[in-house]
Amino acid sequence: MQFKERMAIILALAIIAISLSLDILSDVKMGAAWWHVSTEVVVAIIAVGGIFLLLRNSLLLKNRLDKASVELAAEKKDAAIWRERASLHIEGLSKAIDAQLNDWQLTPAEKEIALLLLKGLSLKEIAGIRHTNEKTVRSQATIIYQKSSLGGRADLSAFFLEDLLK
What is the C-alpha separation between 64 and 134, in angstroms, rounded? Answer: 41
Instruction: Encode pLDDT of 100-153 as tens digits.
Output: 999 999 999 999 999 999 999 999 999 999 999 999 999 999 999 999 999 999
Rounded-to-10 torsion of CA 91, 95, 97, 101: 150
- Under a CB-based contact definition with an 8 Å cutoff, are residues 44 and 20 in contact? yes
Angle at 148 between CA 143 and CA 151, to 5 degrees: 80
Least trusted range by pLDDT, from 21-30, 84-93, 111-120, 123-132: 84-93
Q: How sure is the predictor about 89, in pLDDT bands with cuts at 50, 70 and 90? A: confident
- Nearest Cα to Cα of residue 24 among 37, 39, 43, 42: 37
What is the C-alpha separation between 101 and 113, in angstroms, rounded? Answer: 11
Q: Is residue 122 classed as helix, strand or coil in its secondary structure?
A: coil
pTM summary value: 0.53
DSSP calls for 53-91: HHHHHHHHHHHHHHHHHHHHHHHHHHHHHHHHHHHHHHH
**Which helix (H) or strand (E) element contains residue 44?**
helix 34-103
